[in-house]
Amino acid sequence: MSTLTDHARDIATRAHRGQTDKSGADYIDHPRRVAERTRHYAAADQQDAAQVVAWLHDVVEDTVVTLDDLREDFPEDVVAGVDAMTRRPGEDGDDYYRRVAAHPLARAVKQADLDDNTDPARTALLDEDTRARLARKYAHAREVLAAG
**Would you please indicate which residues are annotated as catalytic (active-site) residues?**
61-62
Strand, coil or helix: what is 26? strand
Cα gap 48→3, rounded to integer Å: 10
Closest to 80 measured CA to CA, from 112, 49, 38: 49
CA distance 91 to 127: 27
